[in-house]
Structure 1
Amino acid sequence: MNAPTTSELPVVVIGAGPAGLSAAAHLAERGIEPLVLEAGDRAGAAVREWSHVRLFSTWGEVVDPAAEKLLAPTGWVHPDPATYPSGGDWAELYLQPLADVLGDRVRTGATVTGVSRAGRDRIVDADRETQPFVVHVTHTDGREERIFARAVIDASGTWTTPSPAGGSGLPALGEKAAADRITYRVPDLKDSAVRARYAGKRTAVIGSGASAFTALAYLADLAKSDDGAGTKAVWILRRGISGSTFGGGTADELPARGALGLAAKAAVDDGYADAVTGFRTEAIERDGEGRLVLVGEDGRRLKPVDEVIVLTGFRPDLAFLSEVRLGLDKRLQAPVALAPLIDPNQHSCGTVYPHGHRELSHPEQGVYLVGMKSYGRAPTFLAMTGYEQVRSVAAAISGDLESADNVELTLPETGVCGGAGLFDAPEADQSGGGCCAPAPQLVQIGAPAAVPAAPEGPAGGCCGS
């Protein structure tokens, strides 16, 4: 059977998260039929997995204007723009209503297993750009399907592929064998079973971003509670302590993001967490009592812990895109034109320049990676970045290059001039504040549950799938 021509085909959007649903709204606004394929059983499936975590962006910053316009005729009411939603709030009060109004344009339980050009693998040049895309899908009932598309927008995020504990980027020796004692997510300590797992225990937290801050604050709160006596966190840092370690503090233009870093600082200063610096995990072993011992690349062996929380970021799953021609940066696995703008060795979240379809394009015309997936391994992706990305991409697909090129985006500055990579350097100043602001000062804040927070990478004030 001959593949259909591209003129009447939909644009396939992979992922019904914030960026994916936003892309569908922008496409629909331009009269282009979107088809959103979501592997989960509901819209925002990844966001729902961290429903207990509060975002550090307000409602006013996590609702796309095009989506709001689409929702308006249904009587949808915008939540108070100045308040902070949890992941659960974001999913239930915004993402699900948006998916509902898009109707059968959103298909759940549909896992994309491959993307290619119809009749052309990645090797073949002949007539390649005239062929539609073919998207292979597996449904939850085992049924397989192929869908033809005029373009493909991959907004699948990075939530399903967390980075390991190993300092080399590979799992530490013994990491897989210790899976029963390791989690790669911020635990929900309001869940009684989860709470019991960590109460009174010694827990290692590996990571230095927003997720690690959140976990440290949560564990400190547990230690202060009646049922948490003896709870202790061990914060594992691959670099030393500097003015940037806890974020920008009061200099952060997202106040809740600054408060999150200060909550982690309070956990350390108040003795609820011990910081271990310059430690890159090489192995995870079990002692005679079954507890876990972290071994560093330098041979250091830490005191045994009961649990390990690995929050070292996320990475993109590129396997199902192996038959299309992507242009990815060799370090970040982000589009080559975007990578220099988001390189964590050079930029903080607030110094990323506006970017749109041109920075997100690939040698394979008509394929776009957007949302958190567009950042590859770079952290601190904000929802508002994703919304402007998909607005530009939708305009480009429609042929409106003037609008597509008119990218406007001003991000809130973090109060820190460099990202994680910059401060890994041995010569970095380890004693004073960063170049943007002095080292954050300890302030008294409420319990972590009331501190707007966000997972590192694909969610929260950041936006993933």
Structure 2
Amino acid sequence: MNAPATDQLPIAVIGAGPVGLAAAAHLVVRGLEPLVLEAGPSAGTAVRDWAHVRLFSPWAEVADPAAEKLLAPTGWVRPEGSAYPTGGDWAEQYLQPLADVLGDKVRYGATVTGVARAGRDRIVDSGRDEQPFTLHIQHADGREERITARAVIDASGTWSTPSPAGADGLPALGEQTAADRITYRVPDLGDPAVRARYAGRRTAVVGSGASAFTALALLADLAKEEGGTHAVWILRRGIGANTYGGGEADQLPARGALGRRAKAAVEAGHASAVTGFRTQAVDRDGDQLVLVGEDGRRLDPVDEVIVLTGLRPDLSFLSEVRLGLDERLQAPTALAPLIDPNVHSCGTVYPHGVGELSHPEQGIYLVGMKSYGRAPTFLAMTGYEQVRSVTAAIAGDREAAERVELVLPESGVCGGAGLFDEPANAEQSGGGCCTAPATLRIGVGATDAASSELGVLR
């Protein structure tokens, strides 16, 4: 039997999160066949990990237009546009219904372990561009499968690969052996078991972005109810005017309020800040942990450590395709200069598409949070514009692919997740671009959109 022509093959989409499902929706609207491969058991698996956290972006900014078009015939109605969903709301009220509409175009429990050109490793030039992609898949039941695809859209995000406490980007000495006392997620203190882990204890919070703000504010609330609860905020830099974000001037009011709550936690004595501290080691002291800095400082023992130092892309399964990635950010080379936190503050990244997301290997695209590599800020709206452009290019509609259809708010890529108990409708405030530090991540995971994870995705 002859193999199907490449243009008759599906487009593989890796990840059934906000941007992956939006990509699938755009493909369907264009009459193309997507195949969404999701490692988890449901849509938005990563988003569900931070179901208790509220997004910085309202419903009007976290639902993709093409997705809404597919959902409309089912009677689906987008929630009030000005309301701010939690991660749980987003997954249950939007992502899962969208995946359900896509039906068998979405496969769960399918982990992509490798992507390559069929019959070509990354060394071989001959006939490379004419070959389809092959994807190796590990199913939840242990089965292995190999599928071929016309193109690959990798929207797998960065949630599964959090950065460590070590200031050099590597785990601190002893960090891995102390894993029973360390988490890399904002804890859900509404869960009795999780609450018991932190109540009446000292917890170190390592990080300076929105996720760290969230953890500090939650621990401060717990301290008001449970005596002995205290947070130790570990900062690699000093405290300055922008440490707590944009405050009243933040164009994302929910995030501005979050920064103010973190500041209040410190001022009220529920959290103490340790500045200029770069973690080198995590030592055991009986049942407690001691953080040791590069300068030799040893902090007072703590019971728990929450590490919120950012996320990074998993590129391990893409080793046989030719990607053009920036050596620092691990983002596409044309996109990296636009999002480099060493140069840009939030609000300076314009909408972008296939031009910035293309690689030496034709037909493969990293989109969503993964496209930003290690850069911290990302909006769901930005991801939706990315996949609109990419899918147009795959469909051969170059004019649409190169057209910019998104107008971002002045706060640009700034966004992310707020506290689960913030009002669903945050009061809007004026002001210019947010003044949050360049290290601010969008969300705690994925997502504001997508979370900090995303406006946003994280």
Tell me the alpha carbon deviations over residues 251-282 of structure 1, each in whole angstroms, 9 at most, x when there is no partner: 11111111111111111111111011111000
Percent identity of paired positions between Structure 1 and Structure 2: 76
- The RMSD of aligned alpha carbons is 1.9
Tell me the alpha carbon deviations over residues 302-329 of structure 1, each in whole angstroms, 9 at most, x when there is no partner: 0000000000000000000000000000
**Structure 1 pair 363–178 and aligned structure 2 pair: CA distance change class (3 A):** same
**Structure 1 pair 244–252 and aligned structure 2 pair: CA distance change class (3 A):** same
Give the 3-state SS of the residue equivalent to 1:349 in structure 2: coil
Tell me the alpha carbon deviations over residues 379-428 of structure 1, each in whole angstroms, 9 at most, x when there is no partner: 121111100000000001001111110124333344999xxxxxxxxxxx
Tell me the alpha carbon deviations over residues 165-217 of structure 1, each in whole angstroms, 9 at most, x when there is no partner: 00000000000110000000000000000000000100000001110000000
- Contact 2:26 2:67 (8 Å CA) reproduced: yes
Cα drift, residue 338 of structure 1? 0.3
2:245 partner letter: G
Cα drift, residue 454 of structure 1? 6.5
**Structure 1 pair 4–437 and aligned structure 2 pair: CA distance change class (3 A):** closer
- Contact 1:136 1:145 (8 Å CA) reproduced: yes
Runs of at least 4 residues of structure 1 off by over 2 A? 1-5, 408-417, 435-440, 453-458, 460-465
- Contact 2:234 2:274 (8 Å CA) reproduced: yes
- Contact 1:214 1:455 (8 Å CA) reproduced: no
2:177 paired with 1:163? no
- Contact 2:378 2:442 (8 Å CA) reproduced: no
Of 240, 254, 271, which residue of structure 2 is paired with 1:242?
240
Give the 3-state SS of the residue equivalent to 2:317 in structure 1: helix
CA distance in 1, matches of 2:50, 2:177: 25
Tell me the alpha carbon deviations over residues 200-240 of structure 1, each in whole angstroms, 9 at most, x when there is no partner: 10000000111000000000010112xx1111000001111
CA distance in 1, matches of 2:316, 2:436: 41
CA distance in 2, matches of 1:380, 1:458: 11
CA distance in 1, matches of 2:195, 2:257: 24
**Structure 1 pair 437–133 and aligned structure 2 pair: CA distance change class (3 A):** closer
What residue is the counterpart of 1:458 in the other structure? Answer: 446
Cα drift, residue 348 of structure 1? 2.7
**Structure 1 pair 371–86 and aligned structure 2 pair: CA distance change class (3 A):** same
**Structure 1 pair 191–46 and aligned structure 2 pair: CA distance change class (3 A):** same
Of 232, 235, 244, which residue of structure 1 is paired with 2:230?
232
What residue is the counterpart of 2:334 in the other structure? Answer: 337
- Contact 1:182 1:310 (8 Å CA) reproduced: yes
- Contact 2:50 2:445 (8 Å CA) reproduced: no
Please show how residues 163-242 of structure 1 align to structure 2 within 5 Å.
163-225=163-225, 228-242=226-240
CA distance in 2, matches of 1:100, 1:239: 46
Extract unaligned runs of 5+ from structure 1.
Answer: 418-434, 441-452
**Structure 1 pair 338–50 and aligned structure 2 pair: CA distance change class (3 A):** same
Extract unaligned runs of 5+ from structure 2.
Answer: 415-431
Give the 3-state SS of the residue equivalent to 1:7 in structure 2: helix
Give the 3-state SS of the residue equivalent to 2:100 in structure 1: helix
Number of residues of Structure 1 aligned to a counterpart in Structure 2: 433
2:133 paired with 1:133? yes
**Structure 1 pair 350–415 and aligned structure 2 pair: CA distance change class (3 A):** closer
Tell me the alpha carbon deviations over residues 7-26 of structure 1, each in whole angstroms, 9 at most, x when there is no partner: 10010000000000000000
Please show how residues 353-368 of structure 1 align to structure 2 within 5 Å.
353-368=350-365
What residue is the counterpart of 2:284 in the other structure? Answer: 286
CA distance in 2, matches of 1:415, 1:125: 40
Please show how residues 53-452 of structure 1 align to structure 2 within 5 Å.
53-225=53-225, 228-287=226-285, 289-414=286-411
- Contact 1:6 1:132 (8 Å CA) reproduced: yes
After TM superposition, the score normalised by the length of structure 2 is 0.91
- Contact 1:342 1:375 (8 Å CA) reproduced: yes
CA distance in 2, matches of 1:407, 1:76: 28
Give the 3-state SS of the residue equivalent to 2:277 in structure 1: coil
Cα drift, residue 75 of structure 1? 0.2
Cα drift, residue 352 of structure 1? 0.7
After TM superposition, the score normalised by the length of structure 1 is 0.90
What residue is the counterpart of 1:448 in the other structure? Answer: none
1:268 partner letter: V
CA distance in 1, matches of 2:153, 2:412: 32
- Contact 2:35 2:106 (8 Å CA) reproduced: yes
What residue is the counterpart of 1:429 in the other structure? Answer: none
1:259 partner letter: A
What residue is the counterpart of 1:444 in the other structure? Answer: none
- Contact 1:3 1:118 (8 Å CA) reproduced: no
CA distance in 1, matches of 2:3, 2:340: 40
- Contact 2:250 2:435 (8 Å CA) reproduced: no
Cα drift, residue 353 of structure 1? 1.5
- Contact 2:335 2:356 (8 Å CA) reproduced: yes
CA distance in 1, matches of 2:233, 2:214: 12
